[in-house]
Amino acid sequence: GSGTHWSDTDIYRFNGLPLVTAYAYAPMFRMLKVKRFDYMARSIQEVNYELEHYGKQGLAIEKGLLIHYPQPIYFFVSNDKSALAKRIQRGLEMARDDGSLDELFFAIPNFRQAWEELQKLDRQVIELKAPE
């Protein structure tokens, strides 16, 4: 299962995965429980929260597989702010190159903990491609 307008949905379809979509997030857990679909891929930083809130519905984390695909983050600026867009892009490239972007990313406890958990996992990785 996937959200109708989630960017992940385009990636799953591009890779030929069978997919049932829903317009709303919360009902998807009930749809999974009643077998409208077999799985719902979640990011590692979402899983613990969702298991805590929706785990009582008899759902569990799959322990043998990991789906991996590129997922960009976008910054939007007004059409008349092209100089700002260039500054943001250049700043992010510099931060990536000098390591400070990773430093900032891992300063967020939720992301750091998720990354540490990911490093401990022994799972079969399924690599997906993103549409261009």
**Residues 9-41: tens digit of each pLDDT:** 999 999 999 999 999 998 999 999 999 999 999
Least confident of 5-9, 23-27, 72-76, 87-91: 72-76
pLDDT number for residue 94 = 97
CA angle at 53 for the pair 47 and 54, rounded to the nearest 5°: 80
Domain containing 108 equals 2-127
pTM, whole model, 2 decimals? Answer: 0.74
In a domain? residue 55: yes
In a domain? residue 63: yes
- Are 65 and 90 in contact, with CB atoms under 8 Å apart? no
In a domain? residue 97: yes
| Element at 127 (helix H, strand E) | strand 124-127
What is the rounded distance in angstroms from the CA atom of residue 126 to the CA atom of residue 107? 28
116 pLDDT band, cuts 50/70/90, is confident
Higher pLDDT, 49 or 95: 95
52 pLDDT band, cuts 50/70/90, is confident
CA angle at 46 for the pair 8 and 111, rounded to the nearest 5°: 105
pLDDT number for residue 118 = 80
Is 114 a residue whose pLDDT tops 90? Answer: no
> Which distant-in-sequence residues (6+ apart) come within 8 Å of 125 by Cβ?
65, 66, 67, 68
Query: What are 28's two structure tokens?
Result: 């998807």
Query: What are 111's two structure tokens?
Result: 């992301």
The amino acid sitting at 61 is: I
**Domain total for the chain?**
1
In a domain? residue 30: yes
pLDDT number for residue 53 = 84
pLDDT digits (tens, 9 = 90+) for 56-66: 778 888 888 98
In a domain? residue 116: yes
In a domain? residue 132: no
- Are 95 and 107 in contact, with CB atoms under 8 Å apart? no
